[in-house]
Amino acid sequence: MCSSGPTLEPSLDLLVVRCVDIERSRRFYEALGLRFASEKHGAGPVHYAASLGRAVLELYPANQRLTPLRFGFSICRSEACLADALVFGGRVLDEASRRTLIEDPDGHKVEIRFHQGST
């Protein structure tokens, strides 16, 4: 724990997700409302980055199937966006009143929480 200055809670700033088919994964997450920009840093691969509040989600190409992650974020509830995500390789694993657990095209489990007041 840091001892100098005010005590701040840790926060997530960056999440990198490796994708076997990066274009399909980009379309999947865009269906959920994320907006990506193409980036390339030095000799690294072209990848996509989207802002999620103060955090950034980056999609990087993977040359082999990796161990799936589990993470979550909040969106405005929209049956259309969930339906679009399924078209791009998503699969619903579990649904509750204010959240849905889906699997992305690479097998990562994504918990979607719906903003208060969304229907």
What phi and psi, each to the nearest 5 degrees, are found at residue 106? -100, 5
- Does the pTM surpass 0.85? The reply is no
Q: Judge residue 15's burial from the number of C-beta atoms within 10 Å of its C-beta, 0-12 exposed, 13-18 middle, 19 or more buried.
A: middle
Q: Provide the residue-wise pLDDT of the chain in tens; the chain has 119 residues.
A: 444 556 667 778 899 999 999 999 999 999 999 999 999 999 999 999 999 988 999 999 997 777 889 998 888 766 778 888 899 999 999 988 778 899 999 999 999 887 765 44
| Residue ranges of domains in the chain, CATH in brackets | 14-114 (3.10.180.10)
Q: Of 22, 107, 21, which is closest to residue 67 (Cα–Cα)?
A: 107
